[in-house]
Structure 1
Amino acid sequence: MAVGVAGALALSLAVLTAPGPAQAAPAAAPDVDTPVATTQLNRVQPSGIAYFWAGTSGLEYSAGDGRSHWLDYPGVTPPEHAGPDDLATGADVVVSGRPDGGVTLEHRSTGVTASVTYSEGQSFYDAIGWNVLVSDKTSGGVHILRPTADGGTKDIPLTGIPAGARIDAYPTSGSVTHVGIVYTLDGTTSAGLVDLADGSVHTYMTNVAPVGPRMVFNDRWLVVGREAIRVDAAPGTEPAPVQYPAKSLAVVGDQLMAGDPDFVSGPDDDKLTAVSLTTGAQRTVLKDSDGTFGPTLDGGMLATAGTSPTDWHVYRVLPTADGDVSAPEVVFTVPPQRAIVDGLMLAGGELLMYGNATNTANAYAAFAVPLDKDGRPTGEQARRGPYLDWTSCLSGDAACPQLRPLGNGRYAVLYTDSDGKQSLEVVGHSTNVDAIDTVATGDLGGRLPSGSGRYVLYNGGSAGVQKVADFAGPGGMDGTITLDRPRTAAAVWGQRLWTPGSTKGSVVAYDLKAKRNVATVNTGAPCTPSEIQAVDTWLYWTCGATGPAGVYDRAAGRAISVPSGPAALADGYLVREDRTTHVLSLTDFHTGTAATRTLAVLPAQDQNTGGDTGRWTADRFGGNVAYLTDGGKVALVTAGVPTTPLAQMEAQTDAATATTGDPWRPIWQLSKPSTWTLNLFDGRGTIVRTLTGASTAAAVEPSWNGAWDNASRVPGTYTWELTAKPRDGQGPDLSVTGTTTVK
């Protein structure tokens, strides 16, 4: 029989695994670029930490995600188990279970458990170390239950509570040998401690605040309100006044720890202060500590502190042998909470992530992260521009938000007012983060197809509407409409507007400052281009969504065929997303021949479909590529394409009075990031002032008040010379010169 069963089983398996009809192999995933870095839009408020339990070996907490987490303190030797008879070892005891009519206690370091049971007439109140507090359902009296060595439960009633007293609270703090007690008798509120060893109540203070007196204590001190007393004080000892900033938070050793995690009204609230209960001396233990605080069962405390969501830590403070507090030790670093990215921009080596990173509805802004030449973040995110209402998007707009980075640290965005009309706004000023420069378009339902530096191209929703807005100067002034023309394919790069010429394939450059055509280029396109993009010496054209497309290299005078379909032009390459497969690809054409590689496969489900400022983006100002991952983070990929030499796109160098109140503030909009030196020469050719700096994105924006290096100030005409070095090290330095005046 055994053989027969085995044979049947073998036969059954053979039938189940027999090969069926040939199946087509799944398509192989394309090879993709490995991101050089990933980042995320961090919420501007640090994660809120809630402490559920904190003992000798670790803590249980929540980091704003609603879930409980356990953490062992780094480098801590777990305490040995000594049992319920040694109350001090209860500093590492947690409640591990709540069966009906009982409580299971566990010594966390060793895993040893003990249980207590209570009668039907009792209900659970709290657990402190090896002690369980229960209340009598009939009388309201509280008992201490503690496990015994033989597995039983020791029931200890509280003694010393005046007859007729109403119990207000049993506060806990930094002790496993005592619990606080607040009671009211004949209209007078008193405060004291319950000795958990024998249940005796010791009253230390009377006439305390009747509503919620703030009580903190350890095994040495009790502090209620602004009074303190030693736990071992003789009966009848009067409490001593204690002065401290903000709120009392915990007692550690002989130190009262004070601060205000809930409301920061001044510098004292924004730090954790230790106040000696023996001398009154105060010292700062932690700066920037407006987070969560909590006493720990071993007589220490935990404090959440830091300067930003990415510099946010939980610190542990312990008592020292002489009654002082230890230096704060980082227990762990709290990761920042991720906000949803609703738009992406790259310009001049900066990543701008647009979204609501606050806890307030309709508070959207762009947050900038500086990048190195390969696309790796080199600094913290910082808000770049004011908070904007989501009404900048039209209802059902698939290309929302409408964002256009300008290569000078700023970006353009469309705002739709209550009557549906759009304003074009430029935000992101380096000197005033909340400034908004605006100009009314007079139209609605428009788009921002192009822009750089001071100029932004607007295509209205109404037929034929096309305008160029000019936002001259360093910011802080509204823009003007400098050109209003019939809509065609068009692109702005620097001070030139590129539009189709009068013959097939020709493209004309119109100088927005000189107000005239300055160049005509024959791109070789077999049509009047339906779309034009311009970056550096590259002109991209298409003949419809499915027609031929190409790039004309103005520097080499050659036409290059590229794949058709919607794409974004950058310096020497194109980026496009296949909206069917969601493959994000890069076409490198800088050699004169197009070569395409896959950067990534984007999530099938759109977060938004905002094109080249939606879930992916390319840096037109000598940079790289970024895209949103399926986890909502931002991946950064090195383009790997040589950049063109550093060039001046447009400059604003008109002379000013050059005084402290009205400095000369020239602007050179360059084609990619740089470090720069500006020399000022007097009439004899002597350098009298040298200014240096790094570009804001790709814009050089110095400021000179007319003073020489030696602080002298002489009116007259000065020659300036700007030398800019490309940050990526590719190509020669750029040098330009001119004159200005000091009055």
Structure 2
Amino acid sequence: MGATALALATSIGALVAAPTAATATPAPGGEVVLAAEPGAFPPELILLTAGKGMVLKDRRNREPISWRHPDGRKTPLDCGGGVAALGDEIACTSASDLKIRNFDTGAAESVPARANLTWTNAMSPTQVLAYEKDANSRYVLHLLGRANEPRKDVPVTGAGPMGSFAVLASDARGALLEYWNTAEEGGHGHRYLDYATATLRELPRPSGVDSAYNKASLGSKWIAMVQFDDAVMVSRTDPSVTRTLSLPGPDRVMPVGDWLIADTTRGWDDSVSAYPVDGGTPRPLLGKLDGPLLLGPDGGAYGLSTTIGSGRWGVHGISTDAQGTLRVQEALALTPRPSDRKSIAFAQGDLSALHLDQTESVLGYRVSVKGPLSVAPAPFWRCDTSREDPSCQHAASTRSGNAATGDGRVVGVTADSTSCTQGCAYTAYIRDARTGGAHRTVKLPGALQSATMLSASGRHVLIRVQENGTERLMVLDIDSGKPLDIKPASTAGLWGSLLWQPEGDKGVVAATDLRTGQVTRRVDLGSGCRPYELQANGDWFYSTCSAEGAAAAAYHVPTRKRIPVPFIAEKPHGAVELGDGYLAHEGYGRLDVYNLRSGTAVKEHRVDDFAAGGPSVGFAVDRFGGRLAYLGQDETVHVVAVTGAGSPLAVIDQSVPGTLDSKSTTGRQARWWLSKPAASWKLLVRNPTSGISTVVRTGGETRGVIDLTWDGKDQAGRTVANGPYEWTLLVSPADGQGGPLTATCSITLKGATSQAGRPTRP
């Protein structure tokens, strides 16, 4: 391990604050930030020193190491290599002169550097501990006097040589050391340094073992030495006085008064208890402990912990009063760590995110679809993984991808086994995005090496699978549970009932209607190449000519305009998602939003501080609107709006019966899937003979699908006569962009019977 300073630097890391990610400029179309729910996991902090204030280090280096006081004071530490601390007196050991500052009172002093001496992390009110190497490269300790100590250099005597050492803990009276030598020079052991006499004392070793105890801790009255389940307590004032305790698998220990504080690692009980030094019944003190127990200047034990019965984390101190009675007090309140967010899905203004905490939950948020961007901070719906609902988290799977379908469902694909190199079963998990919503599963056929969700649109999802080393694309009808195998193909784009695939090598793509299996439309993308990557979104397309992203461009059908994009969409470093007239591009840790609606690719927004990982993990595009969302590194969700007008409202898929039997409960359902949210709608039936139209149903705001069951009656409950009719669906767009949608089809009504005294509508 080397010397003390090296050991300390190894244990706490460099104390240089890492710069936080640059804040992105506001999105021109607006941006809303959703904070994550408070979680039950411990804050991502490490407790380094304990006094009136606490020195805490951020595990992710998102902010500087700082001294924090319960009254709100917070002072960053600019130490480089390590710190020496005694309560609130803290010094940077990487400096040549040891500058000691009391962060509570503001008092400061300096101990000049000495030739050949290096600072350790230990000091007393009057001295600091330093070391040098002798002619045999063995470490020699020195106590150097501070301003109020006349003895400026007191060599430490006693015990034998030390090939390397570390200071495990110290207080105002002494320090506990762990050392390593060759077997001939004493091997591995522990020693106690008494500041008053400047002497090192060898501490006991386990009986019959030529090695040290595997845990050692310093308290105000006792030193604890632990080997497996046995603890030997050695008095600091009289080393001949010892006590032996039996502990159930202790992980961390610290003596406090005449008690030994210990947490356990056996079974489900990870609570912290106090064991009387003289034997007796242990007393539970804390719920959970994260990180070390530290010795405070008051002789108490301090740790990042929860109290019994509470999931709230803070720094708690365990001490004894004058009568030796234990007490637990919160020394520093901490901001709860947010629950981890691992994936997102976004469609028709409905956003869902996978949250990981004590359990896995999916939380849904409703985003505005008209006017200024807004998001209700409270979840619109949620599901929690439980024994009754074990599949909740699978609909938001991060392993094989997930997506929102745009008709109120979320679907994810997950392997049934952790290892699929030789092939295994995969399952699609489908969930209605509402509290208590229905959920179902569909097994993918075959033994697959991999299955990756590519996109979803209404009742269809597009999945890339690999079986026997061959890749192919699979379309899954999640309503019927029926997979539609597609021949091996490099790429495809899904939009509603249309599956777009390359046709030839000149840039032409053809749409197969999944309802009939017939090619119904062709578009020339103007690229002159067979698309390597292809995405479709209404009248917008995105394609590349190679895996390296050659000729990456968008194409708009109404204007017949090909729009080159100013980035290289190289795999695997880049990921692109197509929205309604915009692109989101992740590349090398950044997320860029390009607005295509003007006919050129304009970079509208850049994000540096986001959780990279590709579509559905780090970001998600609402394919059915002008918004996208991304995860921040701080577990926030950011929703960003794109400027400009979107495409007109359209029906992208429909399921309408040719003949409707008003007596049947299964044969009278009709559905229309929409390209974006609707503000209102109404359905009329027109008798082609009489020309009379009747309003049979109306509705308000709808996101994704108009789903109705018609019983052959109008709004007033009057029966409509049997015969052929023309249905007309009138829909107003929620965003106010574009005119109303009109969709018509023919239908024959049968089974209608008039009720006595009530006329039949023509």
TM-score (norm 2): 0.51
Give the match for residue 756 of structure 2. none
- After the TM superposition, which residues 357-376 of structure 1 pair with which residues of structure 2 at under 5 Å, given as runs? 370-374=364-368, 375=375
CA spacing shift, 1:368–1:623, aligned 2, 3 Å: farther
1:110 and 2:105 aligned: yes
SS in 2 for 1:257: strand
1:281 and 2:286 aligned: no
Give the match for residue 218 of structure 2. 217
**Mapped partners of 1:614, 1:243: distance in 2:** 44
Shift of 1:490: 7.1
Question: Residue 605 of structure 2 aligns to which amino acid in structure 1?
Answer: V
Question: Residue 315 of structure 2 aligns to which amino acid in structure 1?
Answer: Y
Q: Contact 1:602/1:629 (CA < 8 Å) preserved in 2?
A: no
**Mapped partners of 2:173, 2:623: distance in 1:** 67
Shift of 1:636: 0.4
1:69 and 2:65 aligned: yes
CA spacing shift, 1:185–1:115, aligned 2, 3 Å: farther
Shift of 1:70: 1.5
Shift of 1:329: 4.6
Give the match for residue 231 of structure 2. 227
**Mapped partners of 1:115, 1:386: distance in 2:** 56
Question: Residue 218 of structure 2 aligns to which amino acid in structure 1?
Answer: F
1:95 and 2:94 aligned: no
Shift of 1:71: 2.1
**Mapped partners of 1:521, 1:272: distance in 2:** 69
Q: Contact 2:91/2:98 (CA < 8 Å) preserved in 1?
A: yes
**Mapped partners of 1:452, 1:99: distance in 2:** 64
SS in 1 for 2:366: coil
What is the root-mean-square deviation of aligned Cα atoms in Å? 7.2
Q: Contact 2:260/2:275 (CA < 8 Å) preserved in 1?
A: yes
1:319 and 2:313 aligned: no
Give the match for residue 149 of structure 1. 148
Question: Residue 316 of structure 2 aligns to which amino acid in structure 1?
Answer: R
Question: Residue 74 of structure 1 aligns to which amino acid in structure 2?
Answer: P
Q: Contact 2:395/2:413 (CA < 8 Å) preserved in 1?
A: no
**Mapped partners of 2:258, 2:211: distance in 1:** 27
Offset from partner CA, 1:417-436 (integer Å, 9 cap, x none): xxx999997656679x9x99
**Mapped partners of 1:443, 1:251: distance in 2:** 54
Q: Contact 1:104/1:113 (CA < 8 Å) preserved in 2?
A: yes
Question: Residue 456 of structure 1 aligns to which amino acid in structure 2?
Answer: L
Q: Contact 1:41/1:367 (CA < 8 Å) preserved in 2?
A: no
CA spacing shift, 1:188–1:486, aligned 2, 3 Å: closer
**Mapped partners of 1:125, 1:301: distance in 2:** 22
Q: Contact 2:427/2:442 (CA < 8 Å) preserved in 1?
A: yes
1:637 and 2:626 aligned: no
CA spacing shift, 1:117–1:152, aligned 2, 3 Å: farther
1:128 and 2:128 aligned: no
Q: Contact 1:318/1:326 (CA < 8 Å) preserved in 2?
A: yes
Give the match for residue 198 of structure 1. 197
Within the candidate set 154, 169, 172, 1:173 is matched to 169
Within the candidate set 609, 616, 621, 1:618 is matched to 621
Give the match for residue 601 of structure 1. 605
Corresponding pairs, count: 547
**Mapped partners of 2:602, 2:626: distance in 1:** 18
**Mapped partners of 1:312, 1:453: distance in 2:** 43
Give the match for residue 36 of structure 1. 32
SS in 1 for 2:87: helix
Shift of 1:216: 1.2
**Mapped partners of 1:543, 1:231: distance in 2:** 75
Shift of 1:613: 6.8
- After the TM superposition, which residues 375-414 of structure 1 pair with which residues of structure 2 at under 5 Å, given as runs? 375=375, 378=378, 388=399, 405-406=404-405, 408-411=409-412
**Mapped partners of 1:121, 1:542: distance in 2:** 70
Question: Residue 282 of structure 1 aligns to which amino acid in structure 2?
Answer: P
Q: Contact 1:177/1:196 (CA < 8 Å) preserved in 2?
A: yes
Give the match for residue 456 of structure 1. 462
Within the candidate set 454, 475, 488, 1:469 is matched to 475
Q: Contact 1:259/1:272 (CA < 8 Å) preserved in 2?
A: yes
CA spacing shift, 1:116–1:624, aligned 2, 3 Å: closer
Shift of 1:325: 3.6
Give the match for residue 262 of structure 2. 258
Offset from partner CA, 1:579-634 (integer Å, 9 cap, x none): 9x9664497xxxxxx99999942369999998x87986433578953257899985
CA spacing shift, 1:175–1:616, aligned 2, 3 Å: closer
| Range that drifts further, 437-446 or 199-208 | 437-446
Give the match for residue 23 of structure 1. none
SS in 2 for 1:319: strand
CA spacing shift, 1:491–1:212, aligned 2, 3 Å: same
SS in 2 for 1:36: strand
Shift of 1:569: 8.6
**Mapped partners of 2:619, 2:487: distance in 1:** 31
Offset from partner CA, 1:166-209 (integer Å, 9 cap, x none): 89967543632222367999989986744323336677756555
Offset from partner CA, 1:329-382 (integer Å, 9 cap, x none): 54434867999x9x974247334699xx9xxxxxxxx99653234446657996
**Mapped partners of 2:541, 2:115: distance in 1:** 83
TM-score (norm 1): 0.52
- After the TM superposition, which residues 282-681 of structure 1 pair with which residues of structure 2 at under 5 Å, given as runs? 282-304=282-304, 313=313, 315-321=315-321, 322-333=324-335, 345-347=345-347, 349-351=350-352, 370-374=364-368, 375=375, 378=378, 388=399, 405-406=404-405, 408-411=409-412, 438=444, 448=454, 451-453=457-459, 455-456=461-462, 469-470=475-476, 472=478, 480-481=483-484, 491-493=494-496, 510=513, 512=515, 540=539, 549=557, 575-576=582-583, 584-585=594-595, 600-602=604-606, 617-620=620-623, 624-627=627-630, 635-637=638-640
Identity value in percent: 15
**Mapped partners of 1:192, 1:605: distance in 2:** 47
CA spacing shift, 1:174–1:576, aligned 2, 3 Å: same
SS in 2 for 1:110: coil
In the alignment, structure 2 segments of 5+ residues that lack a partner are 1-24, 75-84, 369-374, 385-392, 416-420, 433-438, 503-509, 524-529, 544-552, 565-575, 657-670, 678-702, 706-733, 737-762
Shift of 1:299: 2.8
SS in 1 for 2:328: coil
Offset from partner CA, 1:200-250 (integer Å, 9 cap, x none): 667775655542322212212221123354747767434232424422332
In the alignment, structure 1 segments of 5+ residues that lack a partner are 1-28, 79-88, 358-365, 393-401, 415-419, 501-506, 524-529, 551-560, 588-593, 652-667, 674-696, 700-727, 731-743
More strand by share: 2
**Mapped partners of 2:203, 2:585: distance in 1:** 75
| Range that drifts further, 441-450 or 242-251 | 441-450
Question: Residue 364 of structure 2 aligns to which amino acid in structure 1?
Answer: P
Shift of 1:37: 1.1
Offset from partner CA, 1:127-169 (integer Å, 9 cap, x none): 22333234573696644333253766263754xx47x798996
